[in-house]
Amino acid sequence: MTLVKTTYNRRSFLKSSLAAGGGLMIGFSWLASACSVNTPKELTIPDEWFEINAYLKIGENGVVTIFSPNPEIGQNVKTSMPMIVAEELDVDWKNVLVEQAPLDTVKYTRQLAGGSDSIRTTWSALRMAGATARTMLREAAAKAWNVSVEEVTSETGVLMHEGSGKKAGYGEFASVAAQVAVPEKVDLKELDDFSIVGTSRKNVDGMGIVTGKPLFGLDYKVDGMLYAMLIHPPAFGMKLKSFDPDEVKSMPGIKDVFTLKTFNDDYKRQWSDTISFNEQVVIIGNSTWEVWNAKLMLNVEWELSAESKISMAGWGNDYEVNVPAGLESTFGHIAKMKEMAKKPGEIVRRDGNPEEEFKNAARVIERTYTAPFLAHSPMEPMNFFADVKADSAVVVGPIQSPEYMGKSVAERLGLPLDKVEVQMTRMGGGFGRRLYGHFGVEAAVISQKMKAPVKLIYTREDEMTAGIYRPMYHAVYRAALDTDNNLTAFHVKMGGIPENALHANRFPAGALDNYLAESWETDSNISVGAMRAPGSNFNAAAEQSFLDELAEEMGVDPIQFRLDLLKRAQENPVGENNDYDASRYAGVLEMVREKSGWNQAAEGKSRGVAAYFCHRSYAAQVVDLVMENGEPKVEKVYNAIDCGIVVNPDAAVNMVEGSVVDGIGTAMYGELTFSEGQPDQNNFDGYRLIRYTEAPKKIDVHFVENNIHPTGLGEPPYPPVMAALANAMYKATGTRYYHQPFIKNSFD
Total H helices, total E strands in the chain: 16, 35
**Rounded-to-integer distance, Cα 533 and Cα 145, Å:** 54
Q: Are 656 and 720 in contact (CB under 8 A)?
A: no
pTM summary value: 0.93
Asked if pLDDT for residue 589 goes beyond 50, the answer is yes
pLDDT tens track for 390-429: 999 999 999 999 999 999 999 999 999 999 999 999 999 9
Chosen CATH of 217-308+382-457 out of 3.20.19.10, 3.30.365.10, 3.40.50.1100, 3.40.630.30:
3.30.365.10
What CATH number does the domain located at 2-210 have? Answer: 3.30.365.10
CA atoms within 13 A on the CB side of 492: 25
pLDDT tens track for 99-151: 998 888 777 668 899 999 999 988 987 898 899 889 999 999 999 999 999 99
Q: Is 125 helix (H, G, I), strand (E, B) or coil?
A: helix
Structure confidence at residue 37 as a pLDDT band (50, 70, 90): very low
Bridge-based pairing state of the strands 2-5 and 185-188:
antiparallel
- Name the average pLDDT for the chain: 91
Q: Are 6 and 183 in contact (CB under 8 A)?
A: yes
What is the reported pLDDT for 186? Answer: 86
Q: Which strands, in side-by-side order, build the sheet including 363-371?
A: 346-351, 515-521, 487-497, 472-481, 363-371
Q: Is 205 helix (H, G, I), strand (E, B) or coil?
A: coil
Q: Please give the DSSP secondary-structure letter assigned to residue 306.
A: P
Bridge-based pairing state of the strands 631-642 and 158-161:
unpaired
**Rounded-to-integer distance, Cα 599 and Cα 638, Å:** 14
Asked if pLDDT for residue 22 goes beyond 60, the answer is no
CA dihedral angle for residue 206, residue 88, residue 111, residue 455, rounded to 10 degrees: 30
Asked if pLDDT for residue 30 goes beyond 60, the answer is no
DSSP result, 550-600: HHHHHTS-HHHHHHHHHHHHHHS-SSS---S-HHHHHHHHHHHHHHHTTT-
Q: Is 327 helix (H, G, I), strand (E, B) or coil?
A: coil
Q: Is 21 helix (H, G, I), strand (E, B) or coil?
A: coil
pLDDT tens track for 419-468: 999 999 999 999 999 999 999 999 999 999 999 999 999 999 999 999 89
Q: What percent of the chain is modeled with pLDDT above 90?
A: 82
pLDDT tens track for 138-190: 999 999 999 999 999 999 999 999 999 999 999 898 888 878 888 888 889 99
Asked if pLDDT for residue 613 goes beyond 50, the answer is yes
Which stretch of 163-177, 337-351, 510-524, 551-565 has the lowest confidence by average pLDDT?
163-177
Looking at the chain, the domain(s) classified CATH 3.30.365.10 span 2-210, 217-308+382-457, 344-374+469-733
**Rounded-to-integer distance, Cα 376 and Cα 367, Å:** 28
What is the reported pLDDT for 209? Answer: 94
The top-level CATH class assigned to 344-374+469-733 is alpha beta
Nearest CA to 411 out of 279, 264, 281 is that of 264
**Rounded-to-integer distance, Cα 590 and Cα 594, Å:** 6
**Rounded-to-integer distance, Cα 201 and Cα 155, Å:** 19
For residues 653-666, average pLDDT? 98
Neighbouring CB atoms inside 10 A of 599's CB total 8
Nearest CA to 430 out of 481, 375, 384 is that of 375
